[in-house]
Structure 1
Amino acid sequence: MLDYSHNHLFVLASLTIALIAGFSGLSLLQGASQMTVPVRKIVVSIAAVILGSGIWSMHFVAMLGLELPVAYYFDPLITLISALTAILFMGLALLIVHFGTRTRAKIMLAGVIMGSGIAAMHYIGMSGMELCVPSYTVPQVVMAFAASIALSMASFQVSYGHRSARNIVLGTFGFGIAVFAVHFIAMAGTGFTQSAAHATFVPPMSRGVLAFGVTLSAFVLSGSFLLSGVTFATRLGGSPEAGAVSSGPDLEPADEIVPVAVAHGEEAVQLSECRIPYESDSRTHFINPSSVSAIRAEGHYTVLYSGESKLFCPWSISEAETRIGAGPFVRTHRSYLVNLDHVTSFERKKDNGVCYFEQTPALPKVPVSRSRLADVRNRLGM
């Protein structure tokens, strides 16, 4: 067996790449489940490429820092296959959590798939080494896969247990540490021997070419990181762009308010008494609450759903509930305030429910939590 070590600068660079990819992909996906299906498919695909490329880049940046007493190279086809493996596994994991109802079981399954993809990419990439042959035992491989799956499940649980800015940041560290740790856990159980073909071998792809490819990938990831960081910062700062989901050019400012009386139980409320602000085109506009189907929490702010439009509102979900007051609006979930006049149907699940809005393409359905189920059913007259 050959003695080997790692260049500490490359080790640090590999961790940085993993963190950059994790933040870029996860922040891009924030709010993706509220997008239309065609747009969501595009966003999920881009995120899969970013996260998968991050896994691949982290691995080969670390491999460029592998110091062996003999020269070694990588087969270009196997190297490409390893990159595509990471992207495809990440794509499948993201499809599971961003399409259909998101449950804890789905989040855990996505973590299993991601973890399997990270470990599979590592061993496929290692199998492409030329002149130097890596070797490992079955228990060592099983240990690497187990660690990868456990860390990835934890990362997905943190990232998707609650979709807040804090969880995105924590999920970034979870993703980066998972990818980084799996590589070096696997490397700790790997030995290297010199290939018999060492004397006559002509490398199909030098390490310089690999370094060029990894550098290009890292550059693209860094660009994605900067763009994602700007969007993430504007959301935290309350800029109108925090609406990346918002901006309603089709809705004109409410210059004239038509009083709407809505009766619920024994109460009648004039919704015209309160107008809801939203940000668009660097201005603050106002919309009548009766035109809003639902309000969703987005960090310290909210998103208003009206027809096909999603509008960024500077109010928090609690402030919106207080200001709008009684009437047709009811809290169905800690993140949702629903206008019952826009609910077209209701579905009871095991211990929760779903409100549907056939006239609101921007938000076709809203969950009803178990603790609020009885109140919502009562308000709906069920």
Structure 2
Amino acid sequence: MDLLDTSHNVLLVAMSCLVALVAGFTGLSMTRDLAAKPVFHKKASVSLAAVALGGGIWAMHFVAMLGLQMPVLFYYDAAITLVSALVAILIVGAALILLHFTGRSRLTIAMAGGLVGVGILAMHYIGMAGLELCRAVYTPAGVILSSVAAIALCMLAFGIAYGQRTNRHIVLGTICFAAAVCSVHFLAMAGTRFAAVPSSAEFGPLMSNETLALGVIFFSFIMFGACLWVSVTYLPAPKHQDAAPAASPAPEAAQPLLQIPCERDGGKVFISAEDVLFVRADGHYTQVYTEKDRLFCVWPVTEAAKRLLPAGFLQTHRSYLVNPQRVARFERTKDKGRCLFDGDELPPAPVSRSKLRTIQDALASQAGAVRAT
């Protein structure tokens, strides 16, 4: 069997790496801050992120393949090429569902990363199976190295991007994701040789490099546009300077009340912050207490603190946020305390030693303001 000499266009190789970076950044950014979103919004964001990540894996592969130069004419089977894209999108979608619709832990993050690595491998080798008039000949070293790189780097990428959902971690996760996609392709290609075959055995219609290039350019254009769209959320908010001072500030009553997304009897409800007595951490989620109900909330306690502390709530303990306006009385026992509420069978909210003085002063100030009113 005569093997063909191959080379690569350096510019297209660089472009393929850029496509992988853009796809990773777009997909990982689309899934930020989904915990507080309605279920439909969450499903739509996860679907778009799966298309961005899975489609980006596919686009990176075929941009690099457009740069592959061989001394024979070769084509692609359009049906197999389409299957390779859909497989990547579906497998990435399954990983994102695991992350956003189940309890997130180190294990689920690692499983999701490994699943995306499998998706990259599946996409690569299915895509290579679509070659016509030439055949890929693999070496064990290339298959093993690309497989290890795919799974290990994807687990690292998702571990970083989902360990903490900050801008810095998402950018670092993007770099690891792009490294995973590019490593799989080029490590596998380094261990792959090509042999010409006299005829094609099409599963679907044949597609030339020119036709493939049009499809890849179109998808890449959409992805770069999506990247610009999500990039807006990373820009600092502009500071507006009015030419003239406002006549008078808007009355406090005109400000929209903060609504907390909760679940009741399998359905979503929104509870006004002023009706909440306190919020208690419950693993990766929280429990919201009103006078009559205890409701499940998808916010982690860190997200609840970010939204409720500016609204006047007090953090009495690392796991508790209290509405001071609903505290009936405060009790202190030695170096700890607790806030009590009016209502049947409502548990008290503990006050940790480090926050004791702060909470006492805040509640005293609140009581003084009520008396002055």
C-alpha distance 102-288 of structure 1, shift in aligned 2 (>3 A): closer
CA positional deviation for 1:289: 6.4
1:246-325 equivalence runs, <5 A: 254-255=252-253, 324=312
Match for 1:90 among 92, 117, 139? Answer: 92
Amino acid at match of 2:91: F
Name the counterpart of 2:58. 56
1:1-382 equivalence runs, <5 A: 1-197=3-199, 204-233=206-235, 236-237=236-237, 254-255=252-253, 324=312, 329-332=316-319, 338-339=321-322
Contact 1:295 1:317 in 2 (8 A): no
For residues 66-104 of structure 1, give each alpha carbon's deviation from its aligned partner in whole angstroms, at most 9, with x where no partner exists: 011111111000000000011011001101111121000
Structure 1 SS opposite 2:321 = strand
Query: 2: distance between equivalents of 1:164 and 1:295?
Result: 23
Structure 2 SS opposite 1:34 = coil
Query: 1: distance between equivalents of 2:306 and 2:64?
Result: 47
Amino acid at match of 1:237: A
Name the counterpart of 1:248. none
Query: 1: distance between equivalents of 2:100 and 2:258?
Result: 29
CA positional deviation for 1:34: 2.6
- Shifted more, 137-146 versus 42-51: the winner is 137-146
CA positional deviation for 1:324: 4.9
C-alpha distance 319-87 of structure 1, shift in aligned 2 (>3 A): closer
Query: 2: distance between equivalents of 1:222 and 1:6?
Result: 24
- Shifted more, 121-130 versus 35-44: the winner is 35-44
Name the counterpart of 2:342. none
Q: CA RMSD in A?
A: 4.1
Query: 2: distance between equivalents of 1:152 and 1:39?
Result: 26
Structure 2 SS opposite 1:192 = strand
Contact 1:141 1:186 in 2 (8 A): yes
Contact 2:7 2:70 in 1 (8 A): yes
CA positional deviation for 1:211: 0.4
Structure 1 SS opposite 2:206 = coil
Contact 2:305 2:321 in 1 (8 A): no
Name which one, 1 or 2, has greater alpha-carbon Rg.
Answer: 2
CA positional deviation for 1:32: 1.4
Amino acid at match of 2:318: R
Name the counterpart of 2:366. none
C-alpha distance 12-295 of structure 1, shift in aligned 2 (>3 A): farther
CA positional deviation for 1:44: 0.4
For residues 332-358 of structure 1, give each alpha carbon's deviation from its aligned partner in whole angstroms, at most 9, with x where no partner exists: 2xxxx633799xxxxxxxxxxxxxxxx
Matched residues, percent identical?
Answer: 41
Query: 1: distance between equivalents of 2:145 and 2:34?
Result: 34
Query: 2: distance between equivalents of 1:110 and 1:27?
Result: 16
CA positional deviation for 1:141: 1.6
Structure 1 runs of 4+ with >6 Å offset: 287-290
For these two proteins, the number of residue pairs brought into alignment is 290
C-alpha distance 239-179 of structure 1, shift in aligned 2 (>3 A): farther
CA positional deviation for 1:169: 1.0
Structure 2 SS opposite 1:197 = coil
Query: Structure 2: 5+ residue runs without aligned partners?
Result: 241-249, 260-271, 282-289, 327-349, 357-373
C-alpha distance 219-293 of structure 1, shift in aligned 2 (>3 A): farther
TM-score, normalised by the number of residues in structure 2: 0.67
CA positional deviation for 1:255: 3.0
Structure 2 SS opposite 1:191 = strand
Query: Structure 1: 5+ residue runs without aligned partners?
Result: 241-251, 258-275, 279-286, 297-305, 343-372
Contact 2:12 2:67 in 1 (8 A): yes
Query: 1: distance between equivalents of 2:79 and 2:86?
Result: 11
Query: 1: distance between equivalents of 2:90 and 2:317?
Result: 41
